[in-house]
Structure 1
């Protein structure tokens, strides 16, 4: 179970959606350049495991605490540098049983490349690319959301994980 919990954290360290808030985005990508301190990170999701016809559903909610990290958006080249860490209170429900655990001192991101097109922030690295919705971008506030779906099927076991995450930052 600990391995699955860590997997959930890694998938969500990437960012939440299903938000009906209006988008407040400044007009060009130079507005995101700078140092942003992490303020909140919350996510939820579901894992569906199918092993030899047995289906097990797991729902989870993650709430960050001890947030002590920054993201620095650099230009030319467009690289994101992450410093610091955070911890997550992870609540998982499987087969009607709920458990909570704390995962501490999680690093946020490694160096990644970024690009912005209107209210879409694309972050690439490690052979993967994710599109984050910029929910809000002002001179002092950045709010991102993302939904991801990951299929980790192997050796006859199907594991499908869906994560919705939302995070907010303040400009330093």
Structure 2
């Protein structure tokens, strides 16, 4: 059970880090991103592969946000983004034929920073951290962001590779 707790810690920490976008999606951008956006839905999915004592363990997971009160405010001149509020997420893991559920509460999506938009790539910079997201849809009333990341963690006894995708929906 100790190792299960370690595995879940790796997965949850991998999901909650800064993410970078993918390149294969068609985008629909018909409006400006400037203004206030309120989170309406957030879903995660992915796979984490662990190698422990020479054995490989694959863990598939899905996550759905709840108790969302997160907002993003995009300003111009200068291009700043202000993030406020939190969300919680319920993660369901499938590992070795078993299903487990964990929750993480009071999470932030982004930290305040500066933003830039190049085509359908939205970049937010906070200090030395950069988050790149794909804008799947940006209309007068809807913003859909796609985030994808691959994270590799190597420790003495265990290594993991996590592939994570998040779909974030905002409205105004």
Structure-1-length-normalised TM-score: 0.84
Contact 1:133–1:144 (8 Å) recurs in 2: yes
Provide the alpha-carbon RMSD of the alignment: 2.4
Contact 1:142–1:168 (8 Å) recurs in 2: yes
Could you say what secondary structure the match of 1:134 adopts? strand
Could you say what secondary structure the match of 1:155 adopts? coil
Unaligned runs of 5+ in 2: none
C-alpha distance in structure 1 between counterparts of 2:52 and 2:163, whole Å? 18
Contact 1:15–1:165 (8 Å) recurs in 2: no
Query: CA 1:120–1:57 in 2, change beyond 3 Å: closer, same or farther?
Result: same
Could you say what secondary structure the match of 2:110 adopts? coil
Aligned residues: 166
Query: CA 1:105–1:130 in 2, change beyond 3 Å: closer, same or farther?
Result: closer
Counterpart check, 1:24 vs 2:25: no
Give the Å deviation of 1:134.
Answer: 0.8
Give the Å deviation of 1:136.
Answer: 0.7
Give the Å deviation of 1:108.
Answer: 2.4
Contact 1:38–1:169 (8 Å) recurs in 2: yes
Give the Å deviation of 1:160.
Answer: 0.8
Give the Å deviation of 1:151.
Answer: 1.1
Query: CA 1:19–1:66 in 2, change beyond 3 Å: closer, same or farther?
Result: farther
Contact 1:17–1:164 (8 Å) recurs in 2: no
Structure-2-length-normalised TM-score: 0.84
